Structure 1
């Protein structure tokens, strides 16, 4: 344990540092900050928990639902009546061993506020007997349910499940509960996106479509008012896309595309209002500060772009991030410069919302129909999965008896003081819904669009078409455009007109919707305008034209190639255009590289640098393909790798941006066996040099957890994993035997923390 500030502990014990924002009077409050210490963390009522929260000036927290009405909530969705459909993951980590996690105890429940007082008062179980459900999406008279490994669609019949359809049997194959797809965001472009996966889904009639998209984030996914996506991983504040989501994932040889998976907010500092010793690696230098509070994100989740109108103009396009390990919610402010988005934290040395209650676990955030910010609080002591649970954290859990409660859960909303949020229900009349497409509240716009599409409101088509001619409200224009697309009623002239719109986001959406209507019969009418944009200074639209070349290829390969050439000649210094061009070159990168060199020989230009990177990566990937005999010989190791390692290090061992360095051709993998065994068993923290390059936070996650704490893994299985890694891809090192793993385990039997590079080098 690090040296503790005596002053801080005195403040913490007396509670004199906390100013609470609460809906209950001091007389009603049964607990105070003085009841919370490094030795005590009592379970408190929802009302008492609110009294232990700090919230930004001018705001207050109100209770929406709590146990026994809801238990262990992790996600929710509002229907058009304003009711909450809530995912309950009651089976998660019943104790530090995770015993019983495989039992089908999860539920989807419907919570409703019948007396309109803002608090849910009825609970209806829609689905039960689910194993670790994690996400839902209401669509087309039914509901998508993510229940690993599958994604299911249930028709809804008077609030009861009807016909059940398998959408994807491999939605969440491999990975543990912390590293499986989730989110199911129904976006502006009518596709459904998830975090922690590279798949997107769409329902067209009775058919489900599935396409490849960019791999995004870890837990939670959100969109801004223009339809761009935001996400993060556990140690990163905000990641996101500069471009709309349907583009750039066409070239299998292109691992990274500039403008996607970008770091939006680089500052990962957090400011808890209580000591947070109950984090998995709290024993490491630099994880906690001198007052024993978490320094940087360790469980960042559910980034949410605020799109309501209740908070005021200064909150437009702000992005909130939950940190359940530190019992807080952060506010960030986004800045847009062309298509480049950046951001900074809204406050110095404090948070938008934070609590002294250690069991306050904000895991998901949502925009509500009434414009408030909804907080899903799992209200549990244990949130770290058993796969990575360290002995240090087990002791912290026992110290403050954090195993209980298991069946609590709260849902709150944050609102401005003295505000009177009004319950919002969507009308059934198509004309009224069309008007709502221009509403100030993003939830209202999104759901008006979705209801028009789900009800197949063909009578609204003329009104929608007229709305696309509205020049004063870009929200109305873009939502009407995508509603027409969702209804299958979009026509070439609609898009052609909007491609020349004076408002940039509208022009961009016109280009983005073009693939939906592009055909062999009409592509020629768009080519002149696309060529004009390609040679123009309209830098915001040019990358989209490069992305569109992929779609033109199936109709006219020569025309698409000419379009790419025009863009290269005009925008050779722009890396975003370069990568957009490359995204349309799958399998033809080398040939295009030679052609560009003949016309533009300056190899310092962005187009040459990006092309050379792709060509090199392609050749390396071809040389790194695993042979069947490796997969067969170390089948158990391959399975463990897919479950525990692949999400951070990649299927090809090349590492994943913002998460982890490469294993392929890494000296740490192919070198001294005992070092690798120690890393995999007990983890690694801090900077590490791989193949001459230094990897450190925030470029990657600064800590790799070990799997040696997982008692379910035998020494033989660990040896299989290590052997698989040492012989996969371009690695040709010797196998690891179970006896070698056992020997290192015995040598390090008292080890309770991750290694640093210096420690490993001194030890082995």
Structure 2
């Protein structure tokens, strides 16, 4: 379908005339540098309605950091409900349209196959997209794509598909993973499909990674990370978050350290890059799911902390200037804003802080502005996908309070909108870099100042099997004038299966940490029966030379030596344990190698490390205790047969935060296994599952609170159609699972509590529950 911009303008004005009942005078398009704090934070009353605003007017509702401007580059009907996208070599946007998401407050018709993958193109090269081509339609809630080789990966729950393309026409369709989104609901299912520096494809809300080798797809287990969206920095470190956390990420290579199922957390992964979760909306934001709760909104009814943090991006473009290098941006759609964080690294440690106090990089007074995903672009700009709709909370967790807010301000309709913007410095001449097919030009682009260009050039060289570039790539990894060129050339060689052991070893000897770090990251991919001895020798030399920065990397990489030489691998681990008994990154990396061997290793090092207060001993004992306790876990298959509805509810709602093992997930939720809240008073447990739990909670003597876990567990009792029998089965299932052995919860007990709590809207606090 092809639409001119004149038709778009006509239709959007028509939509506005139909839906807009009132409108206020728009605020300034730009942030004025002299604007006072008083002007942006003064208490105001909540507006009664949030009118639909035309695409041309919506930017007038935004304030952006001084010196920048926001440009609208696509809008309905050219695009609808965009949630994810990728640029191709021609700077066209392949966009995922999740059209079916929450048509109303009860999700009517959410399973209708009306989602699309569309290509948007700027035909006349004026910076505004004017052509729409639907390439895949009839999808149910599609959520992610990844361009690779001659096609694209498409995530459509529960499947991950690979579609081959020729001249923008779909060819063969291959099922890559039938369980890509196994479990969870639309808010808590894998997404992202991010193709990282190491040539693997990673996901948020997932512990899987994917790679295409020849005609086969490899699927590997990795760390569970994130909720919606995923990004990387110039050195391949992954960044993500969850709905209440600003920014989280990995210090170490994403594919390592996840091999010990007995180990709950590994230091250096899921680390909080930025601990400050405050947000500063421009206007009252009562339309958030827990807006009635204390401290969720301030006195002016504005959100105080992240509650729906979405897909972040580490800015890697070449337009914003040096002060924006190594900055991470995070959208908060429930508060209609985008946050800027400034990051800094010290060795392998990365930490950051918010760029401003009491303001944001970009914020809008339009409540329908819903930035859900951010991207770097081929022109160096930062791109924003805006679902532009009123409802962004899934029905599973939608509170009566928010339903009321949606109704008061008429937020349900329309559903056909969607906008894409880009942020650029004022007067910038942003022109997209087209990715050529010429081999020599592609190698040169590996050193381009724009990270998107470097990534795409690397991917094209690998996808196109440009083996003729190997000599040029070998030369590139030996030069030091452009470190980013060298790094991308290194990983391109790895992707072409042409990186030599001696080349990686040479990088291990570099004095510059940025090179040494990449050598450590790439060496596990080169571990073979013929190469491992060289790596073992160099690793030992590095440990003996007190290379503290390299130590956790070497401990993590020792796992890849095990298949070839268990003695050499164990010797390295022992040496590292004795040298760094109190380094949490090294100790956790060591333990990641030791699944079901933890007790033996503890005995082996006891002579040298007899002090029980050494961190290595404490961490080993913690895992050993977990293993011993797990031996008493109940048979999950038997429980599934006894409580089929309960098991299904647990998988779709609870497991994504509390874990399949009931042990809780870092940054999300505390354990259910052997929790007194689960096995104790039934009325308390029923009350929690019906209306949720907020604030700190003590479980087995330990207090769990933000930021260690999310500060808010949503309830499911707000859904009046949720059968009490199903809730009873869910509670019976968790009261009998793992090492829990409490009696069942009956349907009658659930009904009784529901009736007693009729009219309640608030989540419970621990103090309230203790009064039951």
1:193-216 Cα deviation digits (max 9, x unpaired)? 000000000000100000000000
In terms of mean alpha carbon deviation, does 428-437 or 359-368 score higher? 428-437
Contact map agreement 2:317 2:452 (CA 8 A) in 1: yes
Give the distance between the partners of 2:569 and 2:31, measured in 1 at CA: 61
1:632 aligns with 2:641: yes
1:633-687 Cα deviation digits (max 9, x unpaired)? 1121011001000111111111111111111111111111111111101111111
Select the residue among 594, 597, 605 that pairs with 2:614: 605
In terms of mean alpha carbon deviation, does 162-171 or 424-433 score higher? 424-433
Give the distance between the partners of 2:192 and 2:705, measured in 1 at CA: 28
1:281 aligns with 2:290: yes
Residue matched to 2:480: 471
The secondary structure found in structure 2 opposite 1:153 is strand
Residue matched to 2:219: 210
1:342 aligns with 2:351: yes
Give the distance between the partners of 1:657 and 1:221, measured in 2 at CA: 17
1:41 aligns with 2:50: yes
Contact map agreement 1:22 1:51 (CA 8 A) in 2: no
1:473-499 Cα deviation digits (max 9, x unpaired)? 221111111101111111122212222
Select the residue among 378, 400, 403 that pairs with 2:412: 403
1:332 aligns with 2:341: yes
Give the distance between the partners of 1:732 and 1:653, measured in 2 at CA: 14
The Cα shift of 1:623 comes to 2.4
The Cα shift of 1:141 comes to 1.2
Select the residue among 379, 392, 397 that pairs with 1:383: 392
Residue matched to 2:628: 619
Give the distance between the partners of 1:231 and 1:372, measured in 2 at CA: 20
The secondary structure found in structure 1 opposite 2:726 is helix
1:522-546 Cα deviation digits (max 9, x unpaired)? 2222222111112222222111111
1:75-99 Cα deviation digits (max 9, x unpaired)? 1000011100000000000001100
Residue matched to 1:759: 768
Residue matched to 1:8: none
1:705-752 Cα deviation digits (max 9, x unpaired)? 110112342111000000001111111111011111111111111111
Give the distance between the partners of 1:591 and 1:571, measured in 2 at CA: 19
1:708 aligns with 2:745: no
Select the residue among 111, 114, 134 that pairs with 1:105: 114
1:66 aligns with 2:71: no
Within-5 A mapping of 1:471-620: 471-620=480-629
Gaps of 5+ in 1: 1-12, 24-32
The secondary structure found in structure 1 opposite 2:367 is coil
Give the distance between the partners of 1:429 and 1:50, measured in 2 at CA: 39
Give the distance between the partners of 2:602 and 2:251, measured in 1 at CA: 26
Residue matched to 1:4: none
Residue matched to 1:26: none
Residue matched to 1:241: 250
Select the residue among 750, 753, 761 that pairs with 1:741: 750
The Cα shift of 1:255 comes to 1.5
Give the distance between the partners of 1:569 and 1:57, measured in 2 at CA: 53
The Cα shift of 1:16 comes to 9.5
Select the residue among 217, 225, 239 that pairs with 2:234: 225
The Cα shift of 1:468 comes to 0.9
Residue matched to 1:655: 664
Contact map agreement 1:535 1:567 (CA 8 A) in 2: no
Contact map agreement 2:677 2:685 (CA 8 A) in 1: yes
Residue matched to 1:675: 684
The Cα shift of 1:570 comes to 1.6
The Cα shift of 1:629 comes to 2.3
Select the residue among 90, 113, 124 that pairs with 1:115: 124
The Cα shift of 1:758 comes to 2.0
Residue matched to 2:166: 157
The secondary structure found in structure 1 opposite 2:554 is helix
The Cα shift of 1:36 comes to 11
Select the residue among 256, 259, 263 that pairs with 1:254: 263
The secondary structure found in structure 2 opposite 1:90 is coil
The secondary structure found in structure 2 opposite 1:656 is coil
1:642 aligns with 2:651: yes
Give the distance between the partners of 1:259 and 1:627, measured in 2 at CA: 31
1:217-265 Cα deviation digits (max 9, x unpaired)? 1000010100000110000001111112121111111120010001111
The structure-2 alpha-carbon separation of the partners of 1:642 and 1:14, relative to structure 1 and needing over 3 Å to count, comes to closer
Residue matched to 1:5: none
Give the distance between the partners of 2:451 and 2:468, measured in 1 at CA: 24
Contact map agreement 1:21 1:50 (CA 8 A) in 2: no
1:265 aligns with 2:274: yes
The Cα shift of 1:22 comes to 9.4
Give the distance between the partners of 1:620 and 1:338, measured in 2 at CA: 37
1:750 aligns with 2:769: no
1:129 aligns with 2:138: yes
The Cα shift of 1:592 comes to 0.4
1:119-161 Cα deviation digits (max 9, x unpaired)? 0010000100000000000001110000000000000111011
Contact map agreement 1:36 1:42 (CA 8 A) in 2: no
Select the residue among 421, 435, 438 that pairs with 1:426: 435
Normalised to the residue count of structure 2, the TM-score between the two structures is 0.94
In terms of mean alpha carbon deviation, does 198-207 or 428-437 score higher? 428-437
The Cα shift of 1:17 comes to 11
Give the distance between the partners of 2:117 and 2:26, measured in 1 at CA: 40
Q: How many residues align?
A: 741
Residue matched to 2:453: 444
The structure-2 alpha-carbon separation of the partners of 1:398 and 1:541, relative to structure 1 and needing over 3 Å to count, comes to same
